[in-house]
Amino acid sequence: MNLPYSEPFKIKMVENIYRSTKDQREKWIREASFNLFNLRSEQVYIDLLTDSGTGAMSDKQWASIMTGDESYAGASSYYHLKEAIRELTGFDYFLPTHQGRAAENVLFSVLVKAGDIVPGNSHFDTTKGHIEFRNASAVDCTVDRASDTTSHDPFKGNIDTGKLEKVLKENPADKISCIILTITNNTVGGQPVSMANIKEVSKLSKKYGVRLIIDSARFAENAYFIKTREEGYADKDIRDITREIFSYADGMTMSSKKDAIVNTGGFIGFRDEELFRQASTYNIIFEGFITYGGMSGRDMNALAQGLYEGTEFPYLESRIKQVAYLGQKMKEYGIPVLEPFGGHAIFIDAKRFVPDFPKEEFPAQTLALEFYIEGGIRGAEIGALMADRDPFTRANRYPALEMVRLALPRRVYSNNHMDYVAAVVRNVFEKRNEIRKGFKIVWEAPIMRHFTLKLDRV
Ligand code: F0G
């Protein structure tokens, strides 16, 4: 008989976590203005707010921290990182930044002008934020089936090339900053993009003379899905797949806090020396000199090591199968979850969980708060609060998907934790008919409001 997968690592250090009472949590969440971002981490038992920067580094990563080179210019750590990036992506030029959104800030300072259009597949919120902040528009060309949480398509993160070509055809090339392809597609459920789709998008980008930039936060998880789901890739090494993915692009932005399993860091990869030169000036202004950007030498060392570990198949298999383990448990309880299960998170479909709930009272946020009060789990709303207001009309945007995301930190929680999480959600699901009232906004920032807004019960 085949043996099951299991983690290709063991635990060397533990961090205690505190299991609070419901009464404590009711008080704390009220004090936090019903915004899960406002909680102190000690008030959370199992923290599934994000998989970003929350992973556990390995002994080799911690060891590499001790040998970091902190020279201002030309540090050996920079060259270690450059070598790792070249090996995994094929990009000869790169700039380090302090995290993913900083990479967006630097690159978009060159590429995005007021009045521009940036087509892509469900731009992440900071990506959209950086585009809209420059008075440009992000045009979402994701395939329609992505908004059906029950359709079993292996590559629901794809770009609809018909929609993309329409945008490229109807607008002059100098008004289109670039195409942004996000792998995996976080916003629609951590869904992968197929190699075939990447190739087609690349072909269109060349046909219309518009650069293709890959938002690569979860590029290794995307490569795992290509290997396990797309014809012709089963026998390929993950790194051969990542190199092929990037061979179709002109550049990449990276939040290293995800698939590179470090607590902070980011970078931009470039094929073209001229674009690298232009971006270097902004990197120096916003981030730091071009051989450290926003990172210390030790952080660059840990990142180089993390890039290699994050692209090992046994690690990726245990990671993605743990996410599926949680999804499967919830499914067995009848909880409506997005399928296929994503690479980094399980997404609970609030529209199916509480079908008659008014959208103006933020159903996904209401559920996320219920999960916290019930069992101390912190998830994230991916719905109307996060979708923010339209930058021009200022009307609330109600996206097709209204979900609670439970994102799993890498190499952090056990499957016993997953059993606990599923049981908490089951308890809330069993009393779903009692959940009738939601929340109203009492304060919000003009952009990216979900991080800091204050809510109250309706
Ligand atoms: N792109 C994608 C697809 C992301 O998911 C994120 C961050 C970023 C860019 C920005 O990177 O945080 O390093 O500045 N996503 C986190 C999340 C915050 O929880 O999904 P960053």
Ligand 1 atom at shortest distance from the alpha carbon of 50: 19
Ligand 1 atom at shortest distance from the alpha carbon of 126: 10
pTM over 0.95: yes
Q: Judge whether 262 and 247 are in contact, CB under 8 Å.
A: no
Does residue 186's CB lie within 6 angstroms of at least one atom of ligand 1? yes
* Closest CA relative to residue 79, chosen from 62, 96, 57, 58: 96
Q: Which residues of the chain have pLDDT under 70?
A: none
Q: Judge whether 383 and 226 are in contact, CB under 8 Å.
A: no
* Closest CA relative to residue 100, chosen from 293, 381, 240: 293
What's the CA gap between 107 and 275, in Å, rounded?
9
Does residue 49's CB lie within 6 angstroms of at least one atom of ligand 1? no
> For residue 392, what pLDDT is reported?
86
The residue whose CA has the least distance to atom 8 of ligand 1 is: 100
> For residue 156, what pLDDT is reported?
97
What's the CA gap between 402 and 416, in Å, rounded?
28
- Residue whose CB lies within 8 A of the most ligand 1 atoms, among 126, 187, 264, for a mutation test: 126
* Closest CA relative to residue 183, chosen from 195, 175, 171, 174: 195
> For residue 326, what pLDDT is reported?
98
Going from the Cα of 186 to the center of ligand 1, the distance in angstroms, rounded, reads 9
What's the CA gap between 298 and 267, in Å, rounded?
15
Residues assigned a catalytic role: 72, 124-125, 215, 217, 258, 450
Going from the Cα of 312 to the center of ligand 1, the distance in angstroms, rounded, reads 22
Does residue 130's CB lie within 6 angstroms of at least one atom of ligand 1? no
> For residue 448, what pLDDT is reported?
86
Half-sphere exposure of 98 (CA within 13 A, CB side): 9
> For residue 266, what pLDDT is reported?
98
Give tens-digit pLDDT for 371-394: 999 999 999 999 999 999 988 899
> For residue 232, what pLDDT is reported?
98
Does residue 257's CB lie within 6 angstroms of at least one atom of ligand 1? yes
Q: How far is CA 394 from the centre of its chain?
A: 26
Sequence length of the chain is: 458
- Residue whose CB lies within 8 A of the most ligand 1 atoms, among 255, 381, 404, 406, for a mutation test: 255
> For residue 215, what pLDDT is reported?
98
Does residue 122's CB lie within 6 angstroms of at least one atom of ligand 1? no
Beta carbons within 8 Å of 140's beta carbon, 6+ residues apart: 119, 120, 121, 122, 123
Does residue 409's CB lie within 6 angstroms of at least one atom of ligand 1? no
The residue whose CA has the least distance to atom 13 of ligand 1 is: 100
> For residue 447, what pLDDT is reported?
85
Does residue 226's CB lie within 6 angstroms of at least one atom of ligand 1? no
